Structure 1
């Protein structure tokens, strides 16, 4: 049941944060392997990006990749929050006073995130390629021209086999490991501190709301560089053998970005990334708290 609760929390959050994910993906691909000032800037900032996407692709384009995005949330958060809660239930995260151990929370959060990413990677691959596809006038990165999620899966499988669906999974696993550890540990410790010190207790879920905002900030800062790399790995074109044309892996991608675009390129799209992470993290972790309370109400033994 812990896995179902985590998955449903992710789906609820993913629906509202998807438009910012579309904007983030486009901005992270903009100017790929080109020095600053030597490429067209279609997306100057978040408001301009939203306006540009609506103008050229229509308002529905802000929800591109929604179907695989929601399935991704169901799978990834079902696994990672389910694993984390199971470890918590076994007493591996708290001390004898029932306080969260920071190191244990960090390690379990990282492992849970990595495991979730392994299962969800094909959905993230499809989602990224759908989100990047746009009108030729504002196109950035490789354009895959998938007509939908099912077509994308079929096309990738037909061209590169089952392994092609897990292309870039190593980047996703590292990304999710970092993001999950920073998000969950920051949320758990912050919420616990507020509850123990009677801070933000005016409403039952106010402390969860505040703590989830702290988790969103920590996750955005820690996650963005790896998120940029992951987006590039997923969206690049591949040869007949399924090998990436632009990047051979995480290290090669990081090296080429640094050489061509500079270190600041690792924080491309941090604005929409935070605007996505903030509501997503808040909704995810508050939904998680609410659903766990509901679970306890329906099944007091759980």
Structure 2
């Protein structure tokens, strides 16, 4: 008797609730935790470097005049001066932020592309379609995650402020939320949302959009299998694109989140995102918008590698077809 053919793989979309639910659960718990654990120290170093030499922030002049450090000296300085465990400052906020941001943008991207625009999983998608879906999904995901992102930045700066003798602002995720809420309720939680949303949209276009486009381009151009080697190459490309495209908005977002506010919630350093750009460029030059780029890529590279390779494998284990 002839051996029955293997069943065709199930297309992985949100219409497959069991597969999607399992994949989302595994993705959010295992992949995010492993990524954050690996990348958290570099995320912290990135934040510190982006604030370093911030001339416009005259209220915290000690931060501006503190000795400048590169990525490795920053990481070593945090470990030696504040304690090794402080390399994970803001860890809970990072987990909270990534769970909301990544879960939303990945789901929404595929929904827009496959359900709204009717492109199949294997179909080569025009670059403007992929970028459009990525921009929208990244903006929505970042909007939802903005409060957690703001808390992350403020918590990550507390160790440096303490070393320099500046007054403390927050101690943990809960106090960071309470402090932001006290500055205007819901609006206090979304101060600096504009550069954050722009950053989320751009990073997603460089991450998900690039991964989708590069993978389909390779598969449709050369006779190569859709295997782990392809996923590694494509993920490294997406990490690089995400870092290059998103770096300026990331700097603006960090500085806007970290600035001081009055008791009534009025910003005391920057009037808005564009004002942050103007003052940063005027005082520190155009390259100030790429401060912290090395740790940003060191974070984005492993993040993309771990996320995409694991995501593709987990989806196949659960009976899906892959990205």
TM-score over 0.5 for the pair: yes
- Residue from 211, 216, 224 that aligns with 2:239: 216
Aligned residue runs from structure 1 range 108-187, under 5 A: 108-136=133-161, 139=164, 144-187=168-211
Structure 2 residue aligned with 1:238: 261
Structure 1 residue aligned with 2:8: none
8 Å Cα contact 2:161-2:168 kept in structure 1 = no
Structure 1 residue aligned with 2:50: 28
> CA separation of 1:211/1:115 partners in 2, compared to 1, >3 Å: closer, same or farther?
same
8 Å Cα contact 2:248-2:290 kept in structure 1 = yes
> CA separation of 1:93/1:10 partners in 2, compared to 1, >3 Å: closer, same or farther?
farther
> CA separation of 1:252/1:109 partners in 2, compared to 1, >3 Å: closer, same or farther?
same
Structure 2 residue aligned with 1:263: 286
8 Å Cα contact 1:93-1:104 kept in structure 2 = no
Structure 1 residue runs without a partner (length 5+):
none
SS in 2 for 1:129: helix
- Residue from 258, 261, 277 that aligns with 1:254: 277
Aligned residue runs from structure 1 range 187-206, under 5 A: 187-196=211-220, 197-199=222-224, 201=225, 204-206=227-229
> CA separation of 1:97/1:53 partners in 2, compared to 1, >3 Å: closer, same or farther?
closer
1:13 correspondence with 2:38: no
8 Å Cα contact 2:97-2:145 kept in structure 1 = yes
Residue range with higher mean Cα deviation, 180-189 or 61-70: 180-189
Residue range with higher mean Cα deviation, 242-251 or 4-13: 4-13
Residue range with higher mean Cα deviation, 123-132 or 2-11: 2-11
- Residue from 74, 93, 103 that aligns with 1:49: 74
1:288 correspondence with 2:311: yes
* TM-score, normalization by structure 2: 0.83
Larger Rg: 2
Question: What is the CA distance between 1:143 and its match in structure 2?
Answer: 6.3
- CA–CA distance in 2 between the matches of 1:11 and 1:97? 29
Structure 2 residue aligned with 1:83: 108
Q: Which 4+ stretches in 1 moved above 6 angstroms?
A: none
- Residue from 82, 95, 99 that aligns with 1:74: 99
Instruction: Give the aligned length.
Output: 293
> RMSD over aligned Cα, in angstroms?
2.6
